[in-house]
Amino acid sequence: MTEALLKVENLRIELTTRAGVAPVIDNLSFELGHGENISFVGESGCGKSMTALAIMGLLPEGVGRVASGRILFEGEDLTAASDSRLRDIRGNEISMIFQEPMTSLNPVYTVGEQIAEVLRAHQGLSARAARDMAADLLDAVRIPNARARAGDYPFQMSGGQRQRVMIAMALACRPKILIADEPTTALDVTVQAQIFDLLRDLRRDTGTSIILITHDMGAVAEMAERMIVMYAGRNAEIGPVEQIIDHPRHPYTKGLISCVPHIMATLTEDRPDLTEVPGIVPGLREFGQDRCLFASRCAYRTEQCLRQRPPAMAFDNGQLADCWHAETL
Amino acid sequence: MSEPVTLPEEAPEQARHPFTEAWEMFRRNHAALVALVLLVLICVLAVIGPVLYGRDPYDMVWAPFTRPGENWDFILGTDYLGRDLLAMIISGARVSIIIGLSAAFVSIFIGVTVGALAGFYRGWVEEALMRFTEFFQVLPTLLFSMVIVALFGASLPMITFAIGVVSWTAVARITRAEFLRIRELEYVTASRASGARNAKLMFRVILPNALPPIIVQSALMVGSAILFEAGLSFLGLTDPNVVSWGQIIGSNRTYFLDASFTVTIPGVAIFVTVLCISLVGDGLNDALNPKLRAR
Per-residue model confidence as pLDDT tens digits over A234-265: 888 899 988 888 888 888 888 888 777 655 45
Residue A272 — very low, low, confident or very high, per pLDDT cuts 50/70/90? low
- Cβ–Cβ < 8 Å for A24, A14: yes
pLDDT exceeds cutoff 80 at B104:
yes
B114 pLDDT band (50/70/90 cuts)? very high
Query: Residue B243: what pLDDT?
Result: 85
Span of A206-215, A287-296, B62-71, B233-242 with lowest mean pLDDT? B62-71
| Region A123-151 average pLDDT | 89
- Through-space distance between the first and last CA atoms of chain B, rounded to whole angstroms: 54
Indicate whether B1 pLDDT > 60. no
Predicted local confidence at residue A269, as pLDDT: 57
Closest CA to B99 of B189, B205, B222: B222
Q: Which of B15, B122, B185 sits opposite A155 (nearest CB)?
A: B15
pLDDT above 70: percentage of residues in chain B:
92
Instruction: List b or e across B232-257, with b for residues whose CB sees 16 or more CB atoms inside 10 angstroms.
Output: bbbeebbbeebbbbbbbbbbbeebee
Rounded to whole angstroms, the Cα distance separating B78 from B146 reads 29
Q: What is the pLDDT of residues B32-49, one digit of tens each?
A: 889 899 989 988 888 887
Q: Which residues of chain A lie closer than 8 angstroms to B194, CB-CB?
A: 90-91, 95, 118, 121, 169-170
Classify the phi-psi angles of B53: left when phi > 0, otherwise alpha if psi is within -120 to 50, otherwise beta: alpha
- Taking CB atoms and an 8 Å limit, are B193 and A95 in contact across chains? yes
Determine, for residues B191 and A106 on separate chains, whether the beta-carbon distance falls below 8 Å: yes
Most confident of A9-23, A41-55, B116-130, B222-236: B116-130
The Cα B63–Cα B67 span in angstroms is 10
- The whole-angstrom distance between A7's CA and the closest CA on chain B is 20
For residues A268 and A112, which has the higher predicted lDDT (pLDDT)? A112
With contact defined as beta carbons under 8 Å apart, do B289 and B282 qualify? no
Q: Examine the pLDDT at A190 and tell me if it is beyond 60.
A: yes
Range of lowest pLDDT (A152-166, A179-193, A277-291, B185-199): A277-291
Going by C-alpha positions, the residue among A166, A172, A103, A167 that lies closest to residue A131 is A172
* Element containing residue A268 per DSSP (H, E): none
* Contact in structure between A228 and A30 (CB atoms under 8 Å): yes
Neighboring chain A residues of B185 at a CB cutoff of 8 Å: 103
Q: Calculate helix-pair angle for B85-121, B156-166, nearest 10 degrees.
A: 40
Mean pLDDT over A86-103 rounds to 88
Residue range B224-229: mean pLDDT, rounded: 89
CA distances from B117 to A48, A189, B127, B129, B191 (A): 32, 42, 11, 8, 18
Residue B246's identity, in one-letter code, is: G
DSSP label of A270: P
B142: pLDDT strictly greater than 60:
yes
Residue A209, pLDDT score: 92
Of B12, B195, B209, the CB nearest to A87: B195
HEC-encoded secondary structure of chain B: CCCCCCCCCCCCCCCCCHHHHHHHHHHHCHHHHHHHHHHHHHHHHHHHHHHHHCCCCCCECCCCCCCCCCCCCCCCCECCCCEEHHHHHHHHHHHHHHHHHHHHHHHHHHHHHHHHHHHHHCHHHHHHHHHHHHHHHHCCHHHHHHHHHHHHCCCHHHHHHHHHHHCCHHHHHHHHHHHHHHCCCHHHHHHHHCCCCHHHHHHHHHHHHHHHHHHHHHHHHHHHHHHHHHHHHHCCCCCCCCCCHHHHHHHHHHHCCCCCHHHHHHHHHHHHHHHHHHHHHHHHHHHHCHHHCCC
- Which residue type, as a one-letter code, is found at position B224? S
From the list B15, B187, B208, the residue facing A103 with the nearest CB is B187
Q: What is the rounded CA–CA span in Å between residue B130 and residue B113?
A: 12
Identify the pLDDT of residue A2. Answer: 56
Which of B130, B106, B105, B109 is closest to B180 using CA atoms?
A: B130
Return the pLDDT at B3: 66
Please tell me what DSSP assigns to residue A174: -
Query: Are the C-beta atoms of A139 and A189 separated by less than 8 Å?
Result: no
Q: Which residues of B touch A (CB under 8 A)?
A: 6-9, 11-12, 15, 17-18, 122-123, 185-187, 189-197, 205, 208-209
Q: How far is CA B251 from CA A40, A123, B68, B139, in A?
A: 78, 64, 18, 28
Out of A87, A88, A103, the one facing B186 most closely (by C-beta) is: A103
CA distances from A251 to A44, A240, B87 (A): 18, 17, 90
Task: Give the closest residue to A325 by CA, choosing from A307, A317, A304, A199.
Answer: A304
| Angle subtended at Cα B292 by Cα B288 and Cα B295, rounded to the nearest 5 degrees | 130
Instruction: Tell me the residues of A at the B interface, defined by beta carbons under 8 Å apart.
Output: 56, 58, 61-62, 87-92, 95-96, 98-100, 103-109, 118, 121-122, 143-145, 152-153, 155-158, 161, 166, 169-170
Q: Do A118 and B9 touch (CB under 8 A)?
A: no
Distance of CA A31 to the CA centre of its chain: 13
Q: What are phi and psi of A208, to 5 degrees?
A: -70, 135
Strands A94-97, A177-181: pairing kind = parallel
CA A139 to chain B, closest CA, distance in angstroms equals 13
**Contact state of A121 with B194 under an 8 Å Cβ cutoff:** yes
- How does the average pLDDT of chain B come out, rounded? 84
As a whole number of angstroms, the distance between CA A195 and CA A184 comes to 7
Q: Which residue of B has its CA nearest to A90?
A: B195
pLDDT tier at A44 (50, 70, 90 boundaries)?
confident
Q: How far is CA A263 from CA A221, A237, B69, in A?
A: 9, 18, 94
Triad A85, A90, A96: Cα angle to 5°: 160
Q: Report how far residue A13's alpha carbon sits from residue A54's, in angstroms, rounded to the nearest whole number.
A: 8
Total length of chain A: 329
Other Cβ atoms closer than 10 A to B4: 5
**Highest mean pLDDT: which range of A4-8, A14-18, B4-8:** A4-8
- pLDDT beyond 70 at B239: yes
Residue A15 bridge partners (DSSP): A22, A64
Name the residue with higher pLDDT: A172 or B2.
A172
Give the pLDDT band of residue B133 (cuts 50, 70, 90). very high
Which pLDDT value is given to residue A294?
A: 86
Contacts of A157 in chain B (CB under 8 A): 11-12
Beta-strand runs (E) in chain A: 6-17, 20-32, 37-41, 64-73, 76-77, 94-97, 177-181, 209-214, 226-231, 234-240, 313-314, 320-321
Average pLDDT, chain A: 85
Distance (Å) from the alpha carbon of A52 to chain B's nearest alpha carbon: 11
Contacts of B112 (CB under 8 A, 6+ apart): B171, B172, B175, B207, B214
User: Are residues A178 and A171 in contact, defined by beta-carbon separation less than 8 angstroms?
Assistant: yes
pLDDT of B266 above 50 = yes
Whether pLDDT at B177 is above 80: yes
All residues of chain B having their beta carbon less than 8 Å from the beta carbon of residue A89 are: 195
The band of A266, judged by pLDDT with boundaries at 50, 70 and 90, is low
Give the closest residue to B250 by CA, choosing from B270, B262, B260, B236. Answer: B236
CA of A218 vs chain B CAs: smallest distance (Å): 27
Q: Are B141 and B231 in contact (CB under 8 A)?
A: no
Q: What is the DSSP secondary structure assignment for residue A254, as one 8-state letter?
A: H
Closest by alpha carbon to A170, among A228, A237, A92, A55?
A92
Tell me how far apart the alpha carbons of residues B70 and B73 are, in angstroms, rounded to a whole number: 9
Whether residue A1 is predicted with pLDDT greater than 60 in this model: the reply is no
Q: What residues contact residue A178 under an 8 Å CB cut-off, 6+ apart?
A: A94, A95, A96, A97, A170, A171, A199, A203, A208, A209, A210, A211
Among A18, A94, A96, A116, CA closest to A63? A18
Confidence check on the interface: ipTM exceeds 0.85, yes or no: no
